[in-house]
Amino acid sequence: MTRDSIDSDLIGGCRHEVVGEVVEIGSDVSKFKAGDIVGVGLLVGCCNSCRPCEAEAEQYCKKKIWAYNDVYTDGNRTQGGFSASMVVHQKFVVKIPEGLAPEQAAPLLCAGVTVYSPLSHFGLKKSGLRGGILGLGGVGHMGVLIAKAMGHHVTVISSSDKKREEAMNVLGADKYLVSSNTASIQAAADSLDYLIDTVPIHHPMDDYISLLKLDGKLILLGVVNVPLQFFSPLLMSVYVEGRKMVTGTFIGSMKEIEELLEFCNEKGLKSSIEVVKMEYINTAMERLANNDVRYRFVVDVAASNLQD
């Protein structure tokens, strides 16, 4: 597979979410042919025999192989999207639907499916639900777009008012809350069927749990490396509606990626991206560190000058 575009994020990830063209297939490949536009996400291998693998949830396999900075079955290191070409088992390749631009498909292979997977797994795809997105970044903005396309009333929660206009007028959110505004948070108690938490740093949980209805779900997607704390009665029924769940999910399965690509193609969803060339990578990383991108960089490798 040759590389046409790769998506970029801040978590060491300028090497996955790859879209390109199939240039050669092995003798046992049946799903693809030369010339197909395909994508590869965060994983390129698994054991195929454990309980997660048998349940088509290979992202939870303990022997999964990352698309970058890992060791493949032949002993070679995986290079991800920064390599000139890529050899991948057909299990971990998805076909990009006709009508879905490669640069738009790239962010769906990790960021998009990271949001889609919990909505699908927990039965939250039906229309009419009231959902919340905590944190409006690369994953969060995909959450707003996907939830709205499913017919949900979507509330965005952010640390400041800076992203209100974009959340409401560009992404189509229905409501915007500033997390430090205690009065507005309290007024929204018991109002959400689910809250997707994309924040990757430590933050208090109690206020967000209070936003959930009976049987509401707080779904953690941001990786936080310190223990989280919350007041356990908030999960019960002492102060607010109870029987709530705090859970978390990790990216998505290959099946879910295929479902999401078809869903986004049918709905005409377009993420907020900025296409750059490889020679711009260092500047792009500096801008990422300064939170100066809305909301994903996509690197056009085919149009880049790779000879310098």
Mean pLDDT of the chain: 90
Helix (H), strand (E) at residue 141: helix 138-149
> What is the structure's pLDDT at 307?
60
Helix (H), strand (E) at residue 114: helix 111-121
State how far the alpha carbon of 4 is from the alpha carbons of 68, 82, 92, 177, in Å.
17, 11, 17, 39
**Cα–Cα distance between 240 and 94 in angstroms, integer?**
44
Report the chain's C-alpha Rg in angstroms: 20
Angle between helix 111-121 and 138-149 (nearest 10): 50
> What is the structure's pLDDT at 241?
78
Q: In this prediction, what percent of the chain has a pLDDT beyond 70? A: 94
Give per-10-residue mean pLDDT for the chain (308 aa).
45 65 92 94 96 98 94 89 83 96 93 97 98 96 97 97 96 97 96 97 94 96 91 81 93 98 96 89 89 87 71
Closest CA to 105 of 257, 212, 256, 220: 257
φ, ψ of residue 17 in degrees (nearest 5): 60, 65
* Strands of the chain, DSSP E: 2-8, 18-21, 37-40, 43-45, 65-66, 68-71, 77-79, 94-95, 130-134, 153-158, 175-178, 192-197, 212-220, 245-248, 273-277, 296-300
> What is the structure's pLDDT at 50?
98
| 111-248 carries CATH number 3.40.50.720 | yes
* Domain range 18-110+252-299, CATH class: alpha beta
Please, which residues have CB within 8 angstroms of residue 308's CB and are 6 or more apart in sequence?
A: 279
> What is the structure's pLDDT at 9?
38
> What is the structure's pLDDT at 302?
79
Per-residue pLDDT tens digits for 119-130: 999 999 999 999
Is pTM beyond 0.85? Reply is yes
Residues 222, 74: contact at Cβ < 8 Å? Answer: no
- Nearest 5°: the CA angle 254, 133, 116 is 15
Residue 112 CB: number of other CB atoms within 10 A?
33
What 3-state DSSP class applies to 182? helix
Amino acid at 247: T
What are the residue ranges spanned by the domains of the chain?
A: 18-110+252-299, 111-248
